[in-house]
Amino acid sequence: MHGCRQADVRVSVLDTSPIVQGSTPRQALHNTVDLAILADALGYHRNWVSEHHSMRGVAGSAPAVLVGHLANATRRLRVGAGGVLLPNHAPIVVAEQFGTLAALHPGRIDLGLGRAPGGSKPAADAVRPEKERTAKPFRRQLDELLDYLDPRDDAQVKAIPVLGGNAPPIWLLGSTTTSAELAAELGLPYAFAHHLNAETAVDAMRTYRERFRPSDHAATPTTLVSVSVIAAEDDERAEWLAGSTRLKVLSRVRGDRILLPSPEDAAAYPYTDDDRAEITARSGGVLVGSPATVTALLQSLLDDTGTGELLLTTPLYHHADRRRSYELVASIATRLHPSAKP
């Protein structure tokens, strides 16, 4: 199947390497590699991985390492970080790492940048002490990184691997209108995390388009929207599979952080009326259904946000179900069309 390749809308993958109940970090990372190979064969445009620290349900902690491995395992797919959390790193090290990746895999590496800590405060402090993370404002850290990726001839310090045209494209990640304003001001491509903050997506994307200033990074507003999607052969099965992530969200709201449970365990859980109401209130950010239902939901998101690319994350317990969801979305990708918004 190569449905994604003919679509006007780009469809891509966001993979956090989830560690589900009863699994291991090793299995999670092997599943990430397997999914990237599948995405490459299906014609997905890009595959991004995440940076999280000391989160027992997420194995994606070292994006530069994982990006290099995925680029070696695939042929055509763009591979990148969604994203590197810049305050956790010295900007020159990020430039060196991703310049190296771009030199080894020309035209296939993306560098998405965020400002979140990626874990609890103790975990973030262990990665980089707070006084170092906050010694410079995020904007200054970002400017420093951009200078390393496009150094002046007389720069005293250079990130050598980027020289000769090896700087990867930069995306600014965010889930607020504040991040949209910064991306627009700098003329950077912008990736909005709908899966984290669905309610703000339309306002953030409108803000970005209205305030965008052309730059060497992007001549026109360039966006993608990451969204949580669960597709199955029919609506009933998709809803059943979605029980896993809904129980996990409910447990977090109730103060109990659990690993993603199986859909069987989720179906057997003794939900109260209050539980069901809570789940209903928090289910809008996950698009769930058959191929026809998901097509309509994704098209609505494209129309509302004005984006031309969707970055899909699929929180499913069984890896086979996750693979199948991406196969089904690939099969309907040609039915999607860009929004008429400027």
Provide, rounded to the nearest whole percent, the portion of the chain with pLDDT above 90: 93
- Look at residue 59 and tell me if it is in a domain: yes
106: in domain? yes
The answer as to whether 276 is a domain residue is no
Burial track 41-70 (b if 16+ CB lie within 10 A, e otherwise)? bbbbbbbbbbbbbebebbbbbebbebbbbb
Instruction: Give every residue of the chain whose pLDDT is below 70, as ranges.
Output: 1-7, 340-342
Looking at residue 8, its pLDDT comes to 86
Q: What is the CATH number of the domain that holds 210?
A: 3.20.20.30
| pLDDT in the model for residue 284 | 83
Query: How many domains, the chain?
Result: 1
pLDDT tens digits along 140-194: 999 999 999 999 999 999 999 999 999 999 999 999 999 999 999 999 999 999 9
In a domain, 266, yes or no: no
25 in any annotated domain: yes
In this prediction, residue 5 carries a pLDDT of 46
DSSP 315-339: --SSHHHHHHHHHHHHHHGGG----
The chain-wide mean pLDDT, for the chain, equals 95
Specify the pLDDT at position 299. 97
Cβ pair 170, 186 in contact under 8 A: no
Give the model's pLDDT for residue 339: 81
Answer whether 82's CB lies under 8 Å from 48's CB.
yes
Position 341 scores a pLDDT of 61
Instruction: Give the phi and the psi of residue 312 in degrees, each rounded to 5.
Output: -95, 130
Query: Concatenated DSSP letters for 189-206?
Result: -EEEETTT-GGGHHHHHH
The answer to whether residue 101 sits within a structural domain is: yes
pLDDT digit string (tens) for 34-48?
Answer: 999 999 999 999 999
| Of 167, 186, 158, 209, residue with least CA distance to 80 | 167
- pTM of the model as a whole: 0.95
* Residue 272 located in a structural domain: no
The two tokens of residue 88 are 């956790």
CA distances from 191 to 110, 316, 336 (A): 12, 23, 19
Instruction: Please indicate, yes or no, if residue 40 is contained in any of the structural domains.
Output: yes
Q: Which domain holds residue 188?
A: 3-232+288-335
